[in-house]
Amino acid sequence: MNRLLGDNGRVLAFGAHPDDLEVGAGGLLARLVREGAEVTLAVVSIPNQLEQRRAEAQAGADVIGGKLRVLFDERPTRVEDIPMHELVRRFDMVVGDSRPDLVITHSTHDLHWDHGLVNRATVSALRRTPCDLLAFLSSPEMNAQSRAMGQCFADITHTLELKIRAIQAHTSQVPKLDLESSRDLARAMGRISGYEYAEAYEALRVRV
Ligand SMILES: [Zn+2]
């Protein structure tokens, strides 16, 4: 297994809602923390149950070992209710603060409208930032359906259990989140890539 970043690498991950990052990229984010990177989990909005879901997002970030930042937490918000220029302005601020070497965001192939908007805002906010960019799909169902993913696989064999624990931290969502599907998908991606467990990413920009 190769290390993805050098010492003190900086990683910035954008998720539209609490739990998207844990489901889509939790294994890789936890691995990057263990490899010495400074990881920021930027949750764009909390659509409902503001206090509870903010606490769950914090608990998920704590399991992964990253720093949580909620971009719009003044009130319950859906991403599609935020004007794109305001979305990009806040993304700009986070990118400026974190100066990332690697950014991880939603895929354009994601069928959830809010997730697609976060992809657009991420690409826009990175217009002057040289960094690598990976995209994820945040549900096992979408991953299973998508032919676009799988250009790039991350070995998460040693962080799969942390990923599952980070998803479980979202207690209000656990009835909707099928933990076994996450495990099965990681195994399936592992079989394709030759790891025990893996997450699939779309490589939007990679410097080699
Ligand atoms: Zn979401």
- Give me the domains of the chain, ranges plus CATH numbers: 10-205 (3.40.50.10320)
For Cα atoms 134, 136, 140, give the angle at the middle one, nearest 5 degrees.
160
Three-state DSSP at 128 gives coil
Please tell me the distance between residue 208's alpha carbon and the centre of ligand 1 in angstroms: 30
Where would I find the H helices in 15-109?
20-34, 50-64, 84-98
Q: Any idea which of 137-141, 166-170, 204-208 has the lowest mean pLDDT?
A: 137-141
Minimal CA–CA distance to 182: which of 7, 1, 19?
Answer: 19
Please tell me the distance between residue 5's alpha carbon and the centre of ligand 1 in angstroms: 27
Please tell me the distance between residue 196's alpha carbon and the centre of ligand 1 in angstroms: 27
**Interval 91-130: pLDDT, tens:** 999 999 999 999 999 998 888 999 999 999 999 999 999 9
Q: What's phi and psi for 125, nearest 5 deg?
A: -70, -20
Three-state DSSP at 205 gives strand
- Please give the C-alpha separations between residue 141 and each of 93, 126, 137, in angstroms, as whole numbers: 33, 29, 9
Please tell me the distance between residue 173's alpha carbon and the centre of ligand 1 in angstroms: 11
- Tell me the whole-structure pTM to 2 decimals: 0.94
